[in-house]
């Protein structure tokens, strides 16, 4: 490899800085003074300001400017690579998420690369590009179209000539090289982490014993259930003390609950009548226009003008025949589908080079080689259809497993060579008269089919003007009035639920909404609600205004606010009270168990002293989930596996009762090869980290990422 890639030379900017350091120092001091003066006068702080923050990573605010710069850069690259693309809200949200994830990676994972000194040198990059070890990813892009083999000369020509003559090619290569280098560094990091796993002989031996060996034991227990819960009381202080002792389990994120109503603003009957009037006026104008493509554009049609001839099956079944049966120059409609009203002008008819036919089928699956049996079954079903004891549609809906299951077997219009259905089936449909039944074998099974149209080569050129129906201003106003009425009442004496019920509105709830997880049932874009919900002025009991979201109107009330940290005692009581009651029951039962154990040597003696039942456990292991008559009690299972053979445990304060374990013997087991088990454990651990998801998730969790982009994008 060439040494020139390992030489570090100062950039032009660095040379300028070296020669003009004093000048920059003076300018820098002046600018700093100006900035500080501005900050002091405005009362802002250069550190810790979060007003313009879209979130935080590792406790450091991420400014809107930084995030938006990343987002706009990605969007610009998208537009450059896809000229003419329309960036709608769905695409914008996708790239905002990518920009956010990119910043998380830059602030959590990339510092790890730097700390470990992981990089790709220029010499290494050269070797993986034009050297002896060209990376497969690059080889894939420079293959000879005839031989499909990597053509290094094409790559060299591209790097020497093409990127110098084409600025766009140069920019694309620069972007690719940056992404390629980033990918190589990430791969090195994953390999480093995965190769760091090592399994010792002791670990393998313990794992083998844990998974293979079982133990025979006897348990004598005093269940907590023999003491009534009503005899035990638990205070709030005890609940909080327990929660603090087990903080990692009970600490909670800051979250909020809401109750809300949602009014879906839908077009009224009057709006529908208005669309029919619009369609009538459009038909009249459309019939008289001479420039159809211009008319479609002027009318703002949702479907752009298409000058091509279209084959059978290009339109929905409801309008297909109407379009193909009319005369050229005729305007038909209006048609309504899913809230879209359309009128269609037939411009011209043509002839297709391929035939089309419409058909239906019932598929009889073939298990193994019993095709003859499937054909027999098809004939029996056909006989029933002709007798009227069943229908073609019913049989297809119960037997078919393709899209025709939902259409009663209707395959729609099928064009020759489309490949959608088996060639043999299509050919038979083409040669069969309309209404005839046929039985055909194919690679999918046996088909009972019928031709439902004449064969056609007809094509049509059309112009379509369509508009989606939207609620009128009057309709919007009526819904806003109802939402406003609800808001007025809910701020009165009645409860949220009472007002909703009195107005015939369904109350909904959403619990434990966090800034990171803002999901609200039945609401796709919930950021507008989150912006109100997590505002510093919003308190428990606060009622929102009327929020316009997803074409619906929402009014919400904060029913509960949970602060970050340990919840209050009442919120924890349902989960912890039972545990503390068992601890108090154990305090009562342990002395009794210990007194009996002092004179008992065997399980029988202890059982007789306590008048307790002996529970035999013939084969306990770490895979044992539940014990007979006891249930899931890992403390007791652990004691079984940790007590020597022929010995008994001390009294155990289990999760279901107080118990003593007597270990009778350890069952024989076939120990695996230690080397084989070590290798398996090591490979499993390495594979779990190869994708990088585990390491990435751990770093992000440690960084305590807080996403507040909803404040700026809703």
CATH number at residue 381: 3.10.50.40
Note whether residue 464 is domain-resident.
yes
Measured at the CA of 219, the angle between CA 218 and CA 223, to 5 degrees, comes to: 160
Say what the pLDDT of residue 112 is.
87
Nearest by Cα to 278 from 248, 303, 299, 306: 299
Nearest by Cα to 109 from 186, 181, 178: 186
Per-residue pLDDT for 640 more than 70? yes
Residues 443 and 379 in one domain: yes
Among 624, 651, 666, the domain boundary falls at 666
Number of H helices, E strands in the chain: 27, 17
Residues 261 and 243 in one domain: no
Q: Which of 90-104, 296-310, 352-366 has the lowest mean pLDDT?
A: 90-104
Length of the chain equals: 714
Per-residue pLDDT for 24 more than 50? no
In this structure, are residues 344 and 296 in contact, taking their beta carbons and an 8 Å threshold? no
- Assign 50 a pLDDT band (cuts: 50, 70, 90): low
Query: Mean pLDDT across the chain, nearest whole number?
Result: 85
Element (H, E) at 346: strand 340-364
Residues 501 and 593 in one domain: no
- Assign 408 a pLDDT band (cuts: 50, 70, 90): very high
Of the chain, the percentage scoring pLDDT greater than 70 comes to 91
Residues 493 and 464 in one domain: no
Note whether residue 423 is domain-resident.
yes
- Assign 702 a pLDDT band (cuts: 50, 70, 90): confident
CB atoms under 10 Å from CB of 425, counted, come to 22
Note whether residue 118 is domain-resident.
no
The position carrying tokens 């077997």 is: 409
pLDDT tens readout for residues 543-563: 999 999 888 999 999 999 998
Dist. CA 425–CA 404, nearest whole Å:
15
Dist. CA 60–CA 107, nearest whole Å:
10
CATH number at residue 231: 3.10.50
Per-residue pLDDT for 213 more than 90? no
Residues 463 and 368 in one domain: yes
pLDDT tens readout for residues 278-303: 999 999 999 999 999 999 999 999 99
- Global confidence as pTM: 0.57
Q: Determine the 3-state secondary structure of 84 from DSSP.
A: coil
Residues 6+ apart with CB under 8 A from 355: 415, 416, 430, 455, 456, 457
pLDDT tens readout for residues 222-255: 999 999 999 999 999 999 999 999 998 999 888 9
Say what the pLDDT of residue 174 is.
82
Residues 411 and 310 in one domain: yes
Nearest by Cα to 689 from 200, 192, 207: 192
What is the domain range of residue 18? 1-47
| Exposure class string for 106-140: b at 16+ Cβ within 10 A, else e | ebbbeeebeeeebebeeebbebbbeeeebeeebee
CA-based torsion, 535, 537, 540, 542: positive or negative: negative
Report, as an integer, the average pLDDT of 369-381: 87
Number of domains in the chain: 4
Residues 440 and 494 in one domain: no
In this structure, are residues 123 and 5 in contact, taking their beta carbons and an 8 Å threshold? yes
Note whether residue 54 is domain-resident.
no
Among 562, 596, 615, the domain boundary falls at 562
Nearest by Cα to 574 from 248, 226, 223, 250: 250
**Structure tokens given for 208:** 């083998």
Residues 317 and 368 in one domain: yes
Report, as an integer, the average pLDDT of 378-390: 94
In this structure, are residues 353 and 433 in contact, taking their beta carbons and an 8 Å threshold? no
Question: Exposed, middle or buried: residue 359 (CB in 10 Å: 0-12, 13-18, 19+)?
Answer: buried
- Assign 45 a pLDDT band (cuts: 50, 70, 90): very low
Residues 411 and 459 in one domain: yes
Nearest by Cα to 457 from 569, 313, 572, 328: 313
Residues 520 and 649 in one domain: no
| Exposure class string for 449-471: b at 16+ Cβ within 10 A, else e | bbbbbebbeebbbbbbbbbebeb
**Beta-ladder partners of 525:** none
Residues 543 and 511 in one domain: yes
Q: N- to C-terminal Cα distance for the chain?
A: 53
Say what the pLDDT of residue 8 is.
41
User: Which residue did the predictor score with more confidence, 401 or 674?
Assistant: 401
Dist. CA 269–CA 107, nearest whole Å:
55
């Amino acid at each position: 490899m060439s040494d020139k890639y390992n030489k570090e030379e100062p950039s032009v900017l660095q040379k300028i800085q070296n020669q003009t350091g004093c000048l920059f120092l003076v300018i820098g001091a002046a600018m700093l003074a100006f900035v500080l003066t501005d900050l002091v006068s405005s009362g802002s702080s250069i550190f810790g300001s979060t007003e313009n923050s879209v979130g935080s990573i590792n406790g450091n605010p991420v400014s809107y400017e930084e995030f938006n710069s990343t987002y706009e850069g990605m969007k610009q690259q998208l537009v450059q690579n896809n000229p003419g693309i329309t960036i709608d809200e769905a695409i914008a949200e996708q790239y905002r998420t990518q920009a956010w994830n990119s910043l998380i990676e830059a602030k959590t994972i990339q510092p790890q690369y730097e700390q470990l000194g992981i990089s790709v040198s220029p010499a290494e990059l050269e070797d993986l590009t034009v050297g002896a070890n060209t990376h497969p990813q690059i080889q894939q892009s420079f293959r000879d179209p005839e031989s499909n083999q990597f053509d290094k000369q094409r790559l060299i020509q591209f790097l020497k000539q093409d990127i110098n003559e084409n600025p766009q090619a140069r920019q694309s290569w620069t972007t690719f090289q940056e992404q390629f280098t980033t990918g190589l560094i990430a791969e090195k990091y994953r390999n480093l982490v995965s190769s760091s796993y090592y399994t010792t002989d002791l670990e393998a031996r313990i794992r083998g014993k844990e998974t293979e060996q079982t133990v025979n034991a006897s348990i004598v227990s005093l269940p907590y259930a023999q003491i009534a819960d009503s005899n035990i009381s638990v205070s709030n202080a005890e609940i909080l003390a327990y929660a603090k002792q087990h903080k990692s389990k009970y600490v909670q994120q800051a979250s909020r609950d809401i109750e809300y109503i949602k009014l879906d603003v839908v077009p009224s009957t009057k709006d529908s009548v208005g669309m029919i009037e619009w369609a009538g006026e459009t038909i009249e104008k459309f019939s008289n226009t001479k420039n159809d493509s211009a008319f479609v554009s002027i009318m703002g049609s949702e479907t752009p003008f298409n000058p091509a001839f279209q084959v059978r099956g290009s339109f929905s079944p409801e309008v297909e025949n109407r379009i193909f049966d009319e005369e050229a120059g005729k305007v038909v409609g209006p048609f309504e589908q899913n809230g879209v009203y359309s009128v269609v002008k037939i411009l011209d008819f043509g002839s297709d080079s391929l035939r089309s036919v419409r058909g239906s089928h019932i598929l009889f699956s073939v298990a193994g080689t019993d095709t003859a049996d499937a054909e027999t079954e098809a004939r029996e079903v056909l006989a029933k259809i002709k007798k009227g004891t069943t229908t073609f549609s019913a049989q297809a809906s119960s037997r078919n497993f393709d899209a025709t299951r939902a259409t009663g077997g209707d395959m729609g219009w099928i064009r020759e060579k489309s490949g959608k259905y088996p060639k043999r089936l299509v050919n038979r449909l083409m040669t069969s008269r309309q209404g005839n039944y046929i039985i055909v074998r194919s690679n999918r099974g046996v088909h009972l089919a019928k031709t439902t149209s004449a064969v056609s080569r007809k094509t049509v050129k059309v112009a379509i003007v369509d508009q989606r129906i939207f609620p009128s201003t009057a309709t919007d106003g009526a819904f806003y009035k109802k939402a406003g009425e609800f808001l007025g009442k809910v701020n009165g004496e009645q409860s949220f639920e009472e007002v909703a019920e009195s107005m015939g509105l369904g109350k909904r709830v959403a619990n434990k909404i966090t800034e990171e997880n803002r999901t609200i049932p039945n609401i796709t874009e919930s950021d507008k609600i989150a912006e109100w919900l997590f505002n510093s002025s919003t308190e428990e009991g606060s009622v929102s205004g009327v929020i316009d979201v997803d074409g619906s109107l929402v009014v919400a009330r904060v029913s509960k606010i949970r602060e970050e940290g340990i919840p209050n005692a009442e919120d924890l009581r349902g989960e912890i009270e039972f545990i503390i009651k068992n601890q108090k029951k154990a305090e009562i039962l342990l002395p009794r168990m210990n007194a009996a154990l002092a004179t008992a040597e065997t399980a029988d003696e202890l059982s007789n002293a306590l008048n307790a039942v002996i529970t035999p456990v013939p084969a306990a292991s770490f895979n044992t989930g539940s014990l007979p008559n006891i249930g899931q009690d890992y403390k007791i299972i652990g004691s079984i596996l940790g007590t020597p053979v022929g010995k008994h445990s001390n009294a155990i304060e289990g999760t279901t009762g107080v118990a003593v374990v007597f270990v009778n013997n350890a069952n024989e087991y076939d120990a695996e090869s230690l080397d084989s088990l070590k290798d398996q454990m090591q490979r499993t651990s390495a594979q779990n980290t190869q994708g990088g998801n585990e390491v990435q998730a751990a770093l992000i969790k440690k960084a305590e990422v807080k996403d507040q982009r909803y404040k700026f994008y809703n």
